[in-house]
Structure 1
Amino acid sequence: MATSGIPVGVIEDHPLYRDAVAGLLADASGIELGTVAGSVAQFAARRRDDGGGVVLLDLRLPGLMGSSAVMEVVGMGYRVLVLSAHSDQAEVLGAMAAGASGYLSKDCEADEILHAVYLVAEGNTYMSPMLASHVLDAFADRASPAIELSTRERQVLSLVAAGERDQDIAETLAISIRTVRSYLDRIRDKTGQRRRPELTRYAIEMGVTYGRVPA
């Protein structure tokens, strides 16, 4: 069924903020308010056939949260625009690596939320100017060209960048935890990046992010 505008859903567990954002979207020109929910599970149970659309997603949710929540909603076919009170570098980069199309701080004005929604709906990305420095910092000290990784190594790296634990990676790829850790050792040896935040930054720099990894 065709809508009269861009279908935009909301996943936010704080009732007052959720209602405020839903009201903003409902009154906005060119936007059709979609499913509004307090968790990813609730959204999945209630969602209509929105034809994709955009979802405004908080990261600190009951149940599935953070990068895993982003991955789940992206996997449903939506463009995710994170709207979070938390904006440390690891959280911003993790969300973007997981497939988010944009990231906004809850301190932003209503006009900026709508501007970001319109851009993301058109296939663009958007990040609040106050958060952009996190991404710029991640690219500022790029030191080496891309390293040749195998397809499986790229898959493992993409899931690390999305915030997944070794156990989650093993289940997703249907391999053992020992095998996951073996791949991680090879990736660390090849890239020279030891810690997970460093691997996340490397993955984003080199374009090895969730949803862009060859099968």
Structure 2
Amino acid sequence: MPKLLTAIVDDHPIVIEGLKTLLRNEENIEVVGGFCSGEDILSYISTHKVDIILLDITLPDINGMELCLMIKKASVSTIILILSNHTERSIIMQTIQNGASGYLLKNSSVDELRHCISEAVQGNICYSKAVIEIISRPSKNELQGTPRLTRREKEILAMIAAGKTSQVIGQELFLSPLTIDTHRKNLIQKFGVKNVAELVMAANQQQIL
């Protein structure tokens, strides 16, 4: 059986060397190279066949999530496994959406990596144990449940979602822009989000809009 040609992409050369050492004894894997940037791996796969890429999220030039899409566009058959320290559920889900076949944290065991590689080769999506736990935990919005809104807050929320400014909303509701800004801040706080874009997204998810 031919060996799986494997590339490692990480911004830390020491991590690349460590993974090379770990994988050296695997009968079905041949590490063809280590790359420290997105540009380097994209340039390599344009002229060489690579079966599997072990990819970090944090790279100096291209975000690993975006790089997933670029690799898949350049070589649809290449399997991408994310190997990262990022534990945010949204990042994990986004990489899978962008074409990755699995996600492992860097503290995973060699057995977990081996298992994920074999699952990915069979066309399955695979996560390390720690990542499965992160995914199965409900997100903050789900935990909090639907925030209770006053009639006025619902009205203002709908207008914010329609892209109207505090000035315009104030004119339409005969309120000062300052009052609208206060409502806006209160809504952001009630939903536990950081900005208006997240506010609208959370309100849509919870079917308030």
- d(CA) in 1 for partners of 2:5 and 2:200? 34
SS of the equivalent of 1:108 reads: coil
Q: Does residue 1:24 correspond to 2:22, yes or no?
A: yes
- d(CA) in 1 for partners of 2:93 and 2:200? 9
1:82-132 deviation per Cα after TM superposition (whole angstroms, max 9, x unaligned): 000111112111111111110000011122112211221221111012111
Q: Runs of at least 4 residues of structure 1 off by over 4 A? A: 196-199
Residue aligning to 1:93: 93
Q: Using structure 1 for the length normalisation, give the TM-score.
A: 0.60
Residue aligning to 2:130: 130
Q: CA deviation at 1:71?
A: 1.2
CA RMSD of aligned residues (A): 2.8
Q: Using structure 2 for the length normalisation, give the TM-score.
A: 0.61
- d(CA) in 1 for partners of 2:199 and 2:100? 19
Q: Does residue 1:65 correspond to 2:63, yes or no?
A: yes
Residue aligning to 1:157: none
- d(CA) in 1 for partners of 2:199 and 2:132? 21
Which stretch shows the higher mean deviation, 109-118 or 9-18? 109-118
Residue aligning to 2:198: 195
**Equivalent AA in structure 2 for residue 44 of structure 1:** L
Which stretch shows the higher mean deviation, 38-47 or 98-107? 38-47
**Equivalent AA in structure 2 for residue 116 of structure 1:** C
Which stretch shows the higher mean deviation, 86-95 or 97-106? 86-95
- d(CA) in 2 for partners of 1:95 and 1:197? 23
* Contact 2:55–2:64 (8 Å) recurs in 1: no
* Contact 2:66–2:98 (8 Å) recurs in 1: yes
- d(CA) in 2 for partners of 1:109 and 1:79? 20
Residue aligning to 2:151: none
* Contact 1:6–1:121 (8 Å) recurs in 2: no
Residues 138 and 70 (structure 1), Cα distance of their counterparts in 2 relative to 1, 3 Å cut: farther
SS of the equivalent of 1:27 reads: coil
Residue aligning to 1:76: 74
**Equivalent AA in structure 2 for residue 19 of structure 1:** E
Q: Say which one has the larger Rg.
A: 2
Q: CA deviation at 1:63?
A: 0.5
SS of the equivalent of 1:9 reads: strand
Q: Which has the higher contact order (CA 8 A, sep 6+)?
A: 1
Residue aligning to 1:38: 36
Q: CA deviation at 1:5?
A: 0.8
Q: CA deviation at 1:133?
A: 3.0
1:40-93 deviation per Cα after TM superposition (whole angstroms, max 9, x unaligned): 10112234532x511100000010113111211222222110000111112111
- d(CA) in 2 for partners of 1:198 and 1:22? 42
SS of the equivalent of 1:116 reads: helix
- d(CA) in 2 for partners of 1:108 and 1:17? 13
Q: How does 1:46-57 map to 2 (within 5 A)?
A: 46-47=44-45, 48-50=47-49, 52-57=50-55
**Equivalent AA in structure 2 for residue 20 of structure 1:** G
Residue aligning to 2:170: none
Gaps in structure 2 of 5+ consecutive residues: 143-196
Gaps in structure 1 of 5+ consecutive residues: 142-193, 203-215
- d(CA) in 2 for partners of 1:24 and 1:74? 26
Residue aligning to 2:113: 113
